Structure 1
């Protein structure tokens, strides 16, 4: 994918893939689109979630800030 995979810590714990148990991930950010904001053209105002993609199997772990 062209991104550097690395270990990720979440709340003091090393993240392990829920599917394959691998511990190397690459990061991406995804907007959490809502129908109302999209309809009005305000997609930019939606919250973003952090995604950590397993470098071995591709499973995506989603984290939304509170």
Structure 2
């Protein structure tokens, strides 16, 4: 999907570790997915942010609550 794409992302049902994800706040079951890099103060101080792990987040379509998951290999 490009920067100027006219089609907005679609919320989807999500499964993590074989369990259907439901929002902790409103119990909705459709989410938008995104990726973010996790930063620590020490890594930022020394300019090493590129070595920090990534996390996947799911934003509830209904209320916007974020549910964060790290990759099992980065734990």
Give the RMSD, CA atoms, in angstroms: 1.0
Larger strand proportion, structure 1 or 2? 1
- Give the number of aligned pairs: 65
1:18, 1:40 → 2: CA distance? 36
* Structure possessing the higher radius of gyration over alpha carbons: 2
2:61, 2:9 → 1: CA distance? 9
1:7 aligned residue (13, 19, 31): 13
2:28 aligned residue (13, 18, 22): 22
Higher RCO (CA < 8 A, seq sep 6+) = 1
Secondary structure of the residue aligned to 1:23 is: coil
In structure 1, the gaps of 5 or more residues are none
**Deviation of residue 3 (structure 1)?**
2.1
TM-score between both structures, scaled by the size of structure 2? 0.80
Q: Which moved more, 1:18-27 or 1:30-39?
A: 30-39
